Structure 1
C-alpha cells in the first residue's frame, strides 16, 4: 500500500490542478461586452460625432461646450456611451491631436472649416 501513496498523491494533485485551471478560465472574460465603449469602432464613432459637432460651430467651442454638444448629438447613444465624461473627451481629443498633428480644438475647427 505504501508504494501506491505517491502515485495517488500525484493523481490527486493533477486532478485538482486541472480543476483549478478550469475555474480560472471560466472567470476570464471571453467575449466583448455589449456596452464596451473602448473598442476601435466606438472610438471612431465618437470621433465622427466630435468632428461633426465642431464643424457645426461658427467659432471653436470651449471644452465644456463641446462635451455638452456631443452628449446632445442625435447619433450619440447614451446607453452605449454611458461612461462618456470629460476625461474620455480629453483622451479622445489627445488621440485626435496626435494622429493629425494638431494642438487644440481651434486647430481642428480651422482644419474642418477649410
Structure 2
C-alpha cells in the first residue's frame, strides 16, 4: 500500500473544503430566510389570522362559553371594587388609622 502523494492529499482536502463551504452557505441561506424580519412578520400574521378564524368559529358555535369567559375576566379585573362593596363598616366607627399621629424617627 502506497501513501497518497501530496498533490492527491491537497486535492482531497480542497474537495472537503468545497463540500463544507457549500453546506455552510446552504445553512446560512436557510437561516437568513428564516430570520428575515419581513418573513417573520408575514408568518406571525398568518398564524394570528388562523388563530382568529378558529376563535371566531368557536365563538359562533358556542357563544355561552365566550360570555362566561368575558364575565369571568371582568369579575377578575373588578375583584377589589366588588370586595369593597361587601365589606362591613360599623356605624359611627372611625377608620382604623384615624387619630394616629405619625412617628418621626431620627437616626443617631
Return the TM-score normalized by structure 2. 0.39
Which is richer in helix? Answer: 2
Q: Decide which structure has the larger Cα Rg and report it.
A: 2
Q: Which has the higher contact order (CA 8 A, sep 6+)?
A: 1
TM-score (normalizing by structure 1)? 0.38
